Structure 1
Amino acid sequence: MLVTDSKLHLNAAKDWLTNYYINFVAIIGPLIGMLTLYRVIYTEDITISLLPLSLAMLPWPIIAWFKHRIGLQWRMILVVGFFMSATLLVTVHRGLHSHIMLLGPIASLTLMLFYGKRGFWIATIFLLALLVYATSKGLIYGHVAAISLEDPMLILYRGVTMGMLAIAFIYSIFGVTTILGKQASELADQATTIDKTSRQAQWASKSLELLENTVDCILLTIQVDGRISYLNRYAESQLGAKQDTLFIQDITASESDSRKFFAALEGDHSDESNRFSCQLLSSDKTPITVQVNCKLRDVNENNADLICVAHDVTELLSQRDRLRRAEKFEALGEACARIAHDFANLLTIIVGNVTYLKGREVDEEKSEVLEDIASAANDSKVLTEQIGQYSSRQRIELVIVQLDDFMQRILSMSRALCPERVKIKLDYPFYKKACRIDETLVTSIVLNLIANASDAIEGDGSILIRVRLQDQGANAANDLTISIEDNGHGISEEHLERITEPFFTTKGNNKGLGLGLSTVVRQIEAMEGTLKIESELGVGTNMTINLPVR
């Protein structure tokens, strides 16, 4: 993210301009020195006024402001600069002295560059001695006559003046080389840092790609205005959304869910705001329940964003509900079993006594009363058997069944079970197919569902029994699918969620206890199968049984 602080930009600009100003001054200084030396050499004008001019060749910004960047001592800076300048002031043009005067400065530079401070001091002494010698012999400025040794002050005057000019010029060259060397070192360090950073960036990129491709959780980065700046691939596939101009309100199921994210963005670091559950909209716009962990990240003093990790817990909550319901059913079943057992004993006594009284000579009125008691007792015994059947554990007895014959028996029993106004059809496209099932249990399940379908039809109607057998291969169980579809009044959405709960019924008080479907579900689950119920009010209901068979 780019830094938007103007003060930081200004400081960066100052550093950039200062660095280039230093280089400019350090390089232009020697050029000024060369022009000065040209005037001295060819006009033979050596005056003390040239000394201040020679100071213009010194890169003073390096000395005063950036000493810590160059790392030179004050003494070494001045003397080395004068020493290097002297090599350009020596001009010779006759005999062996010319070679000596040419080789002398070169030797001095070599000593300084390759042997550091020690070589520098040796070269400085050597060069100054050479300058004094050249001045005394008239080797400088060509046609100028040699100065008599009897005039040492003139020799010293000219030697020191030229030495000052030479050293000032050479120092400026040394400053340039030092700057370039320092910058080369810095560039090398920067190159190393860039290379290291590049490798770290590559590693981070690979890690991020691996994270995106392997984790099965939703990763989000949310800015303060609610805009989503990052979505991982899993989130895109689950939510069916892209991060372009996407806001948190676009993927949450309700406004209250959106407010939970904004509460975390406001900087409340409590566990309630950093960890919460909410509902997001999946790719097909159905709500999924997620558990969200948030971390507020400060980008700068004026901005922050929220990093969120969301795990889909929809299936976990569904399993938890099923487990809770199973525990509830198990406890209820145990209670029902005890009640059914005791109640059956009481009914046996009642039925026995009624039978005994009916065998005695009684008048017609009393006989009718006894008949009503016997009928009520028998009905109670049937209900008690249903309760006992619901509460008992199912025992599976598998037998080989020819599906053709089995479904024809189901069809015959169904037609006998339902009134004539309800037409029953069978859709069975197989011939001579066999499988291993619990024939008695499957028959009970199918007839129970057909009875429910018949009760849902008011007036004329139809029930379609559709059977499919899907071959899953030699080493896997096949899927036997039996669906019962009716065109009755259907089931409301509210009732559909509770339709398989025990003792829940929509048939009224005199039409059963509401244990039929819950018993069917327990029987199907005992065979490791599933029951799927689809219904629409005014259209009808479709109940599909799926059983693994061999």
Structure 2
Amino acid sequence: MDVIWSRFRRLVSRLHDAVNGRDERYREIVEHAPDLIFSHDLDGRFTSLNPTAERAFGFAPGAGLGRSVFDVVAPEDVETARRMIAAAVSGGSAPAVYELSALASGGGRVPLEISVRAILRDGVAAGVQAIARDLTERKRADAQLHQSEKMEAIGRLTNGIAHDFNNLLMVVRGYVDLIAARVDAGLPLNGEIDQVRKAADSAIAMTRQLVAFSRRQPLQSRVLDVNGVVAELDPMLRRLVGEDVEVATVLGARPGLIEADPALMERLVMNLAVNARDAMPQGGRLRIETAAVPAGPSTEAQVALVISDTGRGMTPETRNRLFEPFFTTKEKGRGAGLGLATVYAIVQQHRGTIEVESEIGRGTSFRIVLPAARAAAAPAPAAPVAAAAADVVLLVEDDAPVRYLVQTILTESGYRVLEAADGPSALDVFARHGHEVSLVLTDIVMPHMSGRALVERLRPLAPDLKILFMSGYTSDVIGNHGVFDSSVAFLQKPFAPDELLRRVREVLDAPAALQRA
């Protein structure tokens, strides 16, 4: 670092010499330098500015000469500038480096790193020479790093709670479904059951939202049509925003096919609709548009989703912080500040971009662009198929309530279930009944032996064995255990009984070659 600064100071010194006419060879460097190079007299009046400095301070060529340097210093940094100049004058010709903000030509602030030194004539200070570097990009990079570190910390916290919450919520939601299936449809008890189900679904959605904005949620992608997503959500969106908000959906003439997680796409649209509703407390208009964007000479085909409102709009300051986790302009208790952070994370996960346009009093528009899919849309999931008489599932799950719930769902659907609480126990069960087992349904993160390690022990014994992994952990933990690949059958907790049965049937019916991970 000392060597770098030494070289920098030598360059600064030579550039100072050029400005003062002592080295003609460097005048062209000064004129074309990307940094701001200027000088002023002891009264603070500019005596020279290179074109970069003139543009930064909003001066026409030559118009800055004679103007006060304090006219372009941010008011809060004027005293810092005075001390900087005084130190340079009293300290002689050795450059010193400071940071302060200048007033930009557009009215904003420009953070600058300034190297200053005294201009000496006959050993006496006659003025000050300065070279300044715009720190805007570096500050932005620092802010992004800070944001990344903050997201990483929140992600670690999320990672710690997601597994336990997912297991608990899965048990609650699963038993609610089982109870509902056993209660006559006409009984009043169904109303109470439905309330419990809704509460569980809200808790599940909150957990998924926490995981989503930390960008750690495993994607369960398939090819889907954005037009279909919006059309299916339309009735719910109208109820969500209320009667005083007009909802207009303008769907593209061509299908907008993308490869995406359907649940996350629905969450994205819902969050933006809620944000629009909250921006229009007196009512207004919510417009949702989709469009397939053809490939261009240098761009691939894309799909655009635009969600606009006629609400209050946002200030530039609010817009700059819009996607920060926990940032909200709502009253205390009206929002956690996760909605738009989640939207941003979902877009990033799907390799898309999001742009925001907003004007106070005129409303806000979010434009999301996602890569178009290269394949046709997948058919809708079929209803769960009943188990064949010979289907035997080896269930490996260390959480006893979850294990009992899954065992109950499978047994009531006709499967024969063998249970194990961990990997070593599963090996013992398989040693006795391996010839009967059709499918191993195993958790990934377990004490003593991971699900992946268990499968590696079972493969030599039964190469064509069908495997279905499940977990309530987030994707980074799953990846650390060697299971995060599109070729691996995976079920994210919490899952509903129908989802479990459908996935089990899919894996059992799949060719054995597709199951070798």
TM-score, normalised to structure 1, is 0.52
CA contact (8 A) 2:256 2:291 kept: no
Q: 2:341 aligns with which of 518, 526, 529?
A: 518
Q: 1:454 Cα shift?
A: 2.0
Q: 1:328 Cα shift?
A: 1.0
> Any idea what the Cα deviations from partners look like across 1:80-134, whole Å, max 9, x if unmatched?
xxxxxxxxxxxxxxxxxxxxxxxxxxxxxxxxxxxxxxxxxxxxxxxxxxxxxxx
CA distance in 1, matches of 2:71, 2:357: 30
Q: Which moved more, 1:380-389 or 1:403-412?
A: 403-412
* Paired position in structure 2 for 1:246: 67
* Paired position in structure 2 for 1:542: 365
CA contact (8 A) 2:347 2:354 kept: yes
CA contact (8 A) 1:289 1:313 kept: yes
* Paired residue type of 1:291: E
* Paired residue type of 1:338: G
CA contact (8 A) 2:120 2:126 kept: yes
Does structure 1 residue 286 correspond to structure 2 residue 108? yes
**Aligned positions of 1:113-124 closer than 5 A:** none
Q: 2:157 aligns with which of 316, 330, 335?
A: 335
Aligned-residue CA RMSD (Å): 4.4
* Paired residue type of 2:68: F
CA 1:468/1:383 → structure 2, altered by over 3 Å: closer, same or farther? closer
Does structure 1 residue 209 correspond to structure 2 residue 28? yes
* Paired residue type of 1:249: F
Q: 1:381 aligns with which of 204, 213, 222?
A: 204
CA contact (8 A) 1:337 1:387 kept: no
Q: 1:375 Cα shift?
A: 5.0
CA distance in 2, matches of 1:370, 1:394: 30
CA 1:490/1:408 → structure 2, altered by over 3 Å: closer, same or farther? same
CA distance in 1, matches of 2:175, 2:293: 55
CA 1:508/1:234 → structure 2, altered by over 3 Å: closer, same or farther? closer
CA distance in 2, matches of 1:548, 1:424: 26
CA 1:284/1:514 → structure 2, altered by over 3 Å: closer, same or farther? closer
Larger relative contact order (CA 8 Å, sep ≥ 6): 2
> Any idea what the Cα deviations from partners look like across 1:212-247, whole Å, max 9, x if unmatched?
22x211111121100111111122223221332222
CA contact (8 A) 1:396 1:526 kept: no
Q: 1:282 Cα shift?
A: 2.2
CA distance in 2, matches of 1:338, 1:485: 36
* Paired residue type of 1:207: Y
* Paired position in structure 2 for 1:158: none
CA 1:544/1:257 → structure 2, altered by over 3 Å: closer, same or farther? farther
CA contact (8 A) 1:249 1:255 kept: no
Does structure 1 residue 316 correspond to structure 2 residue 134? no
* Paired position in structure 1 for 2:44: 226
**Aligned positions of 1:472-491 closer than 5 A:** 473-477=296-300, 482-491=305-314
CA distance in 2, matches of 1:303, 1:268: 8
Q: 1:490 Cα shift?
A: 3.7
Larger Rg: 1
CA distance in 2, matches of 1:416, 1:228: 63
* Paired position in structure 2 for 1:276: 98
CA contact (8 A) 1:394 1:526 kept: no
CA 1:203/1:433 → structure 2, altered by over 3 Å: closer, same or farther? farther
Does structure 1 residue 424 correspond to structure 2 residue 247? yes
Q: 1:352 Cα shift?
A: 6.5
Q: 1:259 Cα shift?
A: 3.9
* Paired position in structure 2 for 1:446: 269
CA distance in 1, matches of 2:86, 2:366: 47
Q: 1:339 Cα shift?
A: 0.8
CA distance in 2, matches of 1:349, 1:277: 57
Q: 1:277 Cα shift?
A: 0.8
Q: Which moved more, 1:484-493 or 1:333-342?
A: 484-493
SS in 1 for 2:91: coil
CA distance in 2, matches of 1:218, 1:433: 51
Report the structure, 1 or 2, having the larger helix content. Answer: 1
> Any idea what the Cα deviations from partners look like across 1:35-88, whole Å, max 9, x if unmatched?
xxxxxxxxxxxxxxxxxxxxxxxxxxxxxxxxxxxxxxxxxxxxxxxxxxxxxx
* Paired residue type of 1:233: P
* Paired position in structure 2 for 1:457: 280
Identity of aligned residues (%): 26
CA contact (8 A) 2:212 2:345 kept: no
> Any idea what the Cα deviations from partners look like across 1:450-498, whole Å, max 9, x if unmatched?
2321232224310234567777842334676543221223446665454
CA 1:206/1:465 → structure 2, altered by over 3 Å: closer, same or farther? farther
CA 1:262/1:536 → structure 2, altered by over 3 Å: closer, same or farther? same
* Paired position in structure 1 for 2:381: none
SS in 2 for 1:243: coil
Q: 1:318 Cα shift?
A: 0.9
SS in 1 for 2:138: helix
* Paired residue type of 1:309: I
SS in 2 for 1:285: coil
Q: 1:289 Cα shift?
A: 0.7
* Paired position in structure 1 for 2:168: 346
Q: Which moved more, 1:418-427 or 1:408-417?
A: 408-417
CA distance in 2, matches of 1:420, 1:526: 34
CA distance in 1, matches of 2:79, 2:175: 69
| Structure 2 residues not aligned, in runs of 5+ | 1-19, 374-517
Q: 1:399 Cα shift?
A: 4.7
CA 1:433/1:475 → structure 2, altered by over 3 Å: closer, same or farther? farther
* Paired position in structure 2 for 1:501: 324
* Paired residue type of 2:74: A
- Tell me the matched-pair count: 345
CA distance in 1, matches of 2:112, 2:242: 49
CA 1:341/1:248 → structure 2, altered by over 3 Å: closer, same or farther? same
CA 1:278/1:481 → structure 2, altered by over 3 Å: closer, same or farther? farther
CA contact (8 A) 1:264 1:273 kept: no
* Paired position in structure 2 for 1:144: none
